Amino acid sequence: MTQSTKPIRLALTPRLAFSERRLLLRVGDLVLISASIMIALWLWFVLGGSAVSWETLRSQMLWAGLVFFGWPVWFFFNDLYNLRWAVDVPRLVRTVLVGSVAIFIVYLTIFFVTSRTPVVNLLADLPIERDPLRLAPALAIGVSGALLLIWRIGYAVVLGGPHARRRLLIIGANEPGLVLWRTIRQLHSAQYHIVGFIDNAPVDLPSDAPLCLGGIERLRQVVEQVGVDEIAVGAGNGIAGSAVAALMDCHEHGVAITPLTLLYERIAGKVAVEHIGDEWYLALPVQQSSTVTLYRFMKRLMDLAGGMLLGIVLLVTLPFIAVAIKFNSRGPIFYLQDRVGLYGRTFRVRKFRSMVQDAEGDGRARWAVKGDSRITRVGTFLRKTRLDELPQILNVLSGEMSLVGPRPERQQFIEQLQQQIPFYRTRLAAKPGLTGWAQVSYGYGATVEDALIKLQYDLFYIKHQSPWFDLTIALRTISVVLHMKGQ
C-alpha cells in the first residue's frame, strides 16, 4: 500500500526533555541563590550606610560561598536533582526547611571558629546596631530558602503535572518496548506519558499497558492524531520506505527520534544488555577519542590526591576499627582476597574483616546475602558505612584500582557469570574502583539477577566516563556513607 509523503501536520505544545529539565533546575537554583546573596548585601549597605567597596565584599566571600555552594550540595545529597523526586512537594518542603537550619548551623560554626573575638565577647558583638552585616548571612540563608521553596514548588506544579509530560510513542510492542514502558512507569511517570505502541507483529500486551495503535504504515496518522513529542525506535521493527519519510517529517517538525536503547539508558542510567538484540555494539564503550589520554591522566591525579586524603582517614580510624573487630570476634583484622582487575589481571585486595573467621572454610565462593549469619555485628556497621573497603586505598595508590570504577570481582564469579550474562567481561575494560556507579545506584548483589543489573550500571559508566561523572559518583558515595545505606 502506497502512503502519501506529504509533510506531517503537527500542532504540538513544546514539552521539556530530560536534559532541559535538569538544566532548568540547576540554573534556576543558582540564579535565586545569587539573588538572595545580593539582596542581603544590598540591605546591609542600606542599613549600615556604608559605601560599596571591593575590600568589604571580599571579606564576605566566606559566608557567601557557603550559601552559594551549600544549597546545591544539600539538594544533591537529598536527590532533588533527580527528576523523580524534584516533583515530590512534601519531600521538597522538608528538605528546604532542614537545609536552611543546617546551613545556618554551619555558618555559626564557621563564624565562631574563624572569629578573632574572644568567645565571651562574641554575643556582645552581634547586635545589628553595631554592625548590620551580622544580619546579612542569616538574611541570605532565609531569603534563599524562601525563594528556592517557591521556585521548586512552582516547578513541581508546572512541570510535574500531566500537561507537561512528554508524549512518547514506542515503535516496538515487544519485550524491549515493555521494559522501557515499565521503567518509565516506575521511575519517570511524572515526565513521560506513553501514548501507545506501533508494531506490525505486537506481542500480547499486559492489560495495564498502553495499546498498540497499529502497524508501521499507520505511523504518520498516529503521530498526527494523538500528538507526539518523542518517538522511541526499537531495533528490528522494519523501519523502511514511507515510514522513514514519516520519521524524517516528524524530526523536521520538532519530534525527537530516539533509539529505544538510548532512551532507556538516559532514563534508567544503565544499559539493557539483555534487550539490545542485533545492536550488540550498543553495549560496548563509546569509541575512543583524543580526550581519553587526558581523562586517564586527570583520573590518576584524582586517584593520588583522593587516595592520600583517604589514607589519612585510614590511619586515624585504623586503631579504633582494629580494636572493635578484635573484641567482636576472633581472627585477623584484615581480610585478603584475589580479585580480577583491568584487562583480566589478578591482584590482591585488603578489606577490614566483616565476617567470622573462615566464612568460606569449605573453599566454595559464596555471595553475601541480606541478613547473612557470617557477618559480625561490627561487620554490619562497617558494611553500612563502607568502611570495610577503606584499606583498598593502598590498591588505589599502587595503581591497581581507581577511586571510581566497576567493583573488582572474584575469578570464580566471573567464570560463572560470563557464561550466563552477555558482555559480562566488558566491565574489565575499565580499572576497578573503590566505589562505582553500580554501587551508588544499586548496592550489593547476591544473585545472578543482581549481577546482571549491576553489569548494566557498570557498562553505562564505562560508556560515559568523564571527570564530572566520577565526581558525581564520589559525592553520591559520601551521601551513601552519611546515610549508612551500604549493606
For residues 163-177, average pLDDT: 90
Residue 274 in domain: no
Residue 340 in domain: yes
Where does the pLDDT of residue 286 fall: very low under 50, low under 70, confident under 90, or very high at 90 and above? low
Q: Given a cut of 80, is residue 229 above it in pLDDT? A: yes
pLDDT of residue 419: 83
Name which of 220, 163, 217 is nearest 193 in CA terms: 163
In this predicted model, what pLDDT tens digit does every residue of 400-451 receive, in sequence order? Answer: 999 999 999 888 888 888 888 777 888 888 899 999 999 888 866 667 788 8
In this predicted structure, which of 285-289, 329-333, 459-463 has the lowest mean pLDDT? 285-289
Q: Which residues contact 7 (CB under 8 A, 6 or more apart)?
A: 249, 252, 253
Evaluate whether 96 touches 145 at the Cβ level (below 8 Å): yes
Residue 283 in domain: no
**Percent of the chain clearing pLDDT 70 (strictly above):** 81
Is residue 195 domain-shared with residue 66, that is, in the same domain?
no
Residue 244 in domain: yes
Q: Which residues contact 169 (CB under 8 A, 6 or more apart)?
A: 194, 195, 196, 197, 198, 213, 222, 223, 226, 228, 230, 231, 232
pLDDT of residue 429: 85
Q: How far apart are alpha carbons 72 and 87 in whole angstroms?
A: 17
Question: Angle at which helices 18-48 and 135-159 pack, to 10 degrees?
Answer: 150
pLDDT of residue 436: 92
Residue 238 in domain: yes
In this predicted structure, which of 29-38, 350-359, 368-377 has the lowest mean pLDDT? 368-377
Q: How many distinct structural domains can be found in the chain?
A: 3
Where does the pLDDT of residue 3 fall: very low under 50, low under 70, confident under 90, or very high at 90 and above? very low
Distance of CA 349 to the CA centre of its chain: 27
pTM, rounded to two decimals:
0.82
Q: How far is CA 213 from CA 8, 152, 217, 228, in A?
A: 18, 37, 11, 13
For residues 453-478, average pLDDT: 89
Mean pLDDT of the chain: 83
Domain boundary among 130, 159, 188: 159
Residue 136 cell numbers, joined = 546579612
Is residue 154 domain-shared with residue 186, that is, in the same domain?
no
For residues 146-155, average pLDDT: 95
Q: How far apart are alpha carbons 287 and 364 in whole angstroms?
A: 39
The range of the structural domain enclosing residue 48 comes to 18-159
Terminal CA-to-CA distance of the chain, rounded, Å? 59
In this predicted model, what pLDDT tens digit does every residue of 287-308 receive, in sequence order? Answer: 555 567 888 889 999 999 999 9
Is residue 469 domain-shared with residue 401, that is, in the same domain?
yes
Is residue 30 domain-shared with residue 127, that is, in the same domain?
yes
Q: Given a cut of 90, is residue 151 above it in pLDDT? A: yes
Q: Given a cut of 90, is residue 390 above it in pLDDT? A: yes
Residue 184 cell numbers, joined = 518509565
| Domain harbouring 198, CATH code | 3.40.50.720
Residue 222 in domain: yes
Is residue 70 domain-shared with residue 214, that is, in the same domain?
no
**Percent of the chain clearing pLDDT 90 (strictly above):** 35
Evaluate whether 339 touches 346 at the Cβ level (below 8 Å): yes
Is residue 84 domain-shared with residue 56, that is, in the same domain?
yes
Q: Which residues are 435's β-sheet partners? A: 404
SS (H, E, C) 365-432: CCCCCCCCCCECHHHHHHHHCCHHHHHHHHHHHHCCCEEECCCCECHHHHHHHHHHCCCHHHHHHCCC
